[in-house]
Amino acid sequence: MSNGRIHVTLDPSIVSACVSLAAQVAQLLPFLMRLTPDEKNRLVKPHPGAQEVMQTIADLQRNAGMAPDDDDPMLADLSVYAGLTTLIDDVSDLLQRLEDTRLQAGSEGWSESLIRYGILRQMERRRPELKAGLDRIRPLITSRSNRRAPGRSEDAPQDPTE
């Protein structure tokens, strides 16, 4: 019935495999942390180009005869910052594609559901056994439909059954 852009069924085993991959990433990076909003606010935020600045300071330090130790905390932090920046750039693109695809699939599925809901409401006159199920989901359908969508005319029906 759908004329949308998503024409696949997502196999639960694929979802499970992707979740496992995410868990593997977390295991590979055991130092990852969660900061509270207060902790985030107190941090010194790196400026754009911070990676280049940190690397240049390390190079200048070497040139000045002040070679950093093998366990230099700034260089360790630079390696984490640079590596995670690369990872975040790639994962951010993936996350955006996941979110956009989920939104598209949700929109297509929801639109189709509303059409089918309206059809089932019409069938309810001949098939009274549908009433209980349809009445149970009606609040879920009409809860957002009662808010006026941008650009929607005042006299447009608010409920797909109207």
Whether 118 is in a domain gets the answer yes
**pLDDT at residue 116 in the model:** 94
**pLDDT at residue 71 in the model:** 83
Query: How many domains does the chain divide into?
Result: 1
Whether 103 is in a domain gets the answer yes
pLDDT tens for the chain, residues 1 to 162: 445 677 889 999 999 999 999 999 999 999 999 999 999 999 999 999 999 999 999 899 989 998 778 788 989 999 999 999 999 999 999 999 999 999 999 999 999 999 999 999 999 999 999 999 999 999 998 876 445 545 544 444 445 444
Whether 100 is in a domain gets the answer yes
Whether 23 is in a domain gets the answer no
Whether 124 is in a domain gets the answer yes
Q: What is the 3-state secondary structure (H, E, C) of the chain?
A: CCCCCCCCCCCHHHHHHHHHHHHHHHHHCCCCCCCCHHHHHHCCCCCCCHHHHHHHHHHHHHHCCCCCCCCCHHHHHHHHHHHHHHHHHHHHHHHHHHHHHHHHHHHHHHHHHHHHHHHHHHHCCCCHHHHHHHHHHHHHHHHHHCCCCCCCCCCCCCCCCC
Instruction: Indicate the pTM of the whole model.
Output: 0.68
Among 103, 148, 105, 141, CA closest to 120: 141
For residue 103, give its domain range: 49-145
**pLDDT at residue 1 in the model:** 42
How many CA atoms within 13 Å lie on the side-chain side of 47?
4
Whether 33 is in a domain gets the answer no
Whether 158 is in a domain gets the answer no
**pLDDT at residue 3 in the model:** 56
Whether 5 is in a domain gets the answer no
